Amino acid sequence: MPKINEMIFPIFEIFSFLFLSVLQISILFLIMKRKNRQHNETIFAFFTFAAFVWNFSVFISHISLYLYTQVNVVEQIFSITATVGFTMLHPLAVHTLINFIETRYLKLRIYTRYAALSALYIPTIYFFLYPLVQKIMMLENSPRENLLAQFSVWSSILLVISWLIVVKLCRSLEDEEEKNFLSIFDWLVTSVLVIYLATFILNIRSVPHVGEYLNLLSHILVSLLPTLFCYYLYRYSYIEYVFKRGLIYTVLGSFIIVFYLSTIAPFGKVMEKHLSINFRILQGMLIMVMVFFFDTLKKKLLELFNRIFFRENLYFQTIISNLSKTINQVHMDIDDLLDYTAFSISRALKIRAVSIILFHEQPDKSLSITGSTLAIMPEDIKEIINYIKVHKPRVLSRYHLREEDVEIFRQMKNIKAFNVIPIYQESELVGLLNIGKRPVRNHLIPEEEEMFLILVNQIITTIENTKLAREKFALGRKMYESEKLSSLGRLSASIAHEVKNPLSSIKLITQVMKEDLDSDDPNQEGLGIIIQEIDRLSRVVNQLLHFARPRSYAEERINIADVIANVTMLIKHNARRNNVEIVVEVDPIELYCDQDALMEIFLNLTSNAIQSMPQGGKLEISSYKKKSKRHVLEYCVVEICDNGPGVPVEERDKIFEPFYTTKQTGTGLGLAIVKRRLERIKGDIRFADNHPGAKFSVRIPLISPNEDEVNDLGGNKNEEDSA
- Least reliable range by pLDDT among 122-136, 259-273, 452-466, 559-573: 122-136
Residue 301 has pLDDT above 70, yes or no: no
Give the CATH H-level superfamily of domain 2-236. Rhodopsin 7-helix transmembrane proteins (1.20.1070.10)
Upstream peptide bond of 692 is cis (omega within 30 degrees of 0): yes
Return the higher-pLDDT residue of 698 and 143: 698
Centroid of chain to Cα 584: 48
Q: What are phi and psi of 670, to 5 degrees?
A: -60, -55
With residue 106 as reference, give the H or E element that holds it: none
pLDDT at 705: 45
Task: Return the CATH class of domain 556-712.
Answer: alpha beta
Contacts 24+ apart (CB under 8 A), 109-117: none
pLDDT at 710: 41
Instruction: Output the CA–CA distances (angstroms, integers) from residue 253 to 3, 56, 296, 682, in the order listed.
Output: 21, 19, 14, 71
Task: Give the pLDDT band of residue 420 (cuts 50, 70, 90).
Answer: very high
pLDDT at 661: 62
pLDDT at 622: 92
Nearest residue to 547 (alpha-carbon basis) of 684, 714, 660: 660
Task: Give the pLDDT band of residue 418 (cuts 50, 70, 90).
Answer: confident
* 95-117 residue pLDDT tens: 888 887 776 666 667 777 778 77
Q: Domain ranges in the chain?
A: 2-236, 238-309, 315-468, 556-712
* 71-88 residue pLDDT tens: 678 877 888 788 788 888
Residue 57 has pLDDT above 80, yes or no: yes
Task: Give the pLDDT band of residue 723 (cuts 50, 70, 90).
Answer: very low
pLDDT at 708: 43
pLDDT at 620: 92
Q: What is the CATH number of domain 315-468?
A: 3.30.450.40
Q: Cα–Cα–Cα angle for 98, 100, 106, nearest 5°?
A: 75
Spatial distance between the Cα atoms of 294 and 684, rounded to a whole number of angstroms: 67
Cβ atoms of 613 and 644 within 8 Å: the answer is: yes
Residue 248 has pLDDT above 50, yes or no: yes
Residue 383 has pLDDT above 80, yes or no: yes
Highest mean pLDDT among 56-70, 224-238, 520-534, 589-603: 589-603
Cβ atoms of 717 and 686 within 8 Å: the answer is: yes
Average pLDDT value over all residues in the chain: 75
Neighbours of 591 (CB within 10 A): 21
Return the higher-pLDDT residue of 447 and 412: 412
Task: Give the pLDDT band of residue 641 (cuts 50, 70, 90).
Answer: very high
Spatial distance between the Cα atoms of 565 and 587, rounded to a whole number of angstroms: 12
- Least reliable range by pLDDT among 265-279, 358-372, 460-474: 265-279
Task: Give the pLDDT band of residue 36 (cuts 50, 70, 90).
Answer: low
R_g of the chain, CA atoms, integer Å: 41
- DSSP code string of 236-271: -TTHHHHHHHHHHHHHHHHHHHHHIIIIIHHHHHHH
Q: How large is the average pLDDT for residues 184-213?
A: 80
This prediction has a pTM of 0.45
Q: How large is the average pLDDT for residues 196-210?
A: 79
Residue 678 has pLDDT above 80, yes or no: yes
The identity of residue 4, as a single letter, is I
